[in-house]
Amino acid sequence: MSDLTTIARPYAKAAFDFAVEKEQLDQWSQMLSFAAEVVQNAQMKELLASSMSAEKMAEIIVVVCGEQVDAHCQNLLKVMAENGRLKALPDVSEQFFALKQEHEKKIDVEVYSATELSEEQLANIGSKLEQRLARKVKLNCSVDETLLGGVIIRAGDLVIDDSARGRLNRLSDALQS
């Protein structure tokens, strides 16, 4: 875990708690995402690396973000600037999104298959995963030509390898034990 991830956690949690209280999860998600993009800009990275005062840096960030962020998000940006934490803003946005997904009981699932899956197959995979994970599932599908057959499903820490190679490896392990 990087230092920025650890630094970002309390800011993301505070922003998330505030957004939940004000029922503005989507707006905050968009504002943090935009501010994170601003901070990742090459010119802004140079600015953040400079020895500029925190007040001046906060003022510049707020002006650059403009109307894309409201007064509350501007306050968060100012606090992060005062504490020298603006570099952690992309991690704050990422952690905020994860908290939002958890709160909304949603999860993004990556599905890799040897061939394009039919709508029926996708619906079947989606419904089975929703039952198993007790969440709304968003499937992100892609074709992986290196697979001989079957699918590999990744949902957070859960990996389901139902590919031909995965099955052969499990069979080999069972025969060897």
Query: For 108-143, how does the pLDDT look when each residue is reduced to its tens digit (9 = 90+)?
Result: 899 999 899 999 999 999 999 999 988 899 999 999
Average pLDDT, the chain: 89
Whether residue 57 is found in the same domain as residue 91: yes
For residue 43, give every residue at least 6 positions away whose Cβ sits within 8 Å of its Cβ, in sequence order, or none.
none
Q: Which band of pLDDT confidence, cut at 50, 70 and 90, is reported for residue 2?
A: low
pLDDT for position 1: 45
pTM: 0.69
On whether both 51 and 130 belong to a single domain, the answer is: no
- What are 22-43's pLDDT values in tens digits? 999 999 999 999 999 998 988 8
**Same domain, yes or no, for 35 and 47?**
yes
CA 81 to chain CA mean position, Å: 23
pLDDT tens digits for range 71-102: 999 999 999 988 888 889 999 999 999 899 88
Q: What is the DSSP letter of 116?
A: P
Q: What is the pLDDT of residue 36?
A: 92
Q: Examine the domain organization and report whether 92 and 24 are in the same domain.
A: yes
3-state secondary structure of 139: strand
Residues 97 and 113 in one domain: no
Do 98 and 146 have their domain in common? no
pLDDT, position 106: 87
- Give the domain range for residue 73: 3-102
Domain count, the chain: 2
Nearest partner of 155 among 99, 112, 91, 103, judged by Cα: 112
Judge if 78 and 123 occupy the same domain: no
Mean pLDDT, residues 148-157 taken together: 88
Last residue of a domain, one of 102, 120, 154: 102
Do 17 and 91 belong to one domain?
yes
Please give the structure tokens belonging to residue 94.
């990422």
8-state DSSP, 175? H
Q: Are residues 26 and 111 in the same domain?
A: no
Which of 102, 122, 138 terminates a domain? The answer is 102
Cα–Cα distance measured from residue 65 to residue 60, given in angstroms and rounded to the nearest whole number: 9
Bridge partners, residue 158, by sequence = 155
Tokens of 76: 């968060």
Residues 29 and 69 in one domain: yes
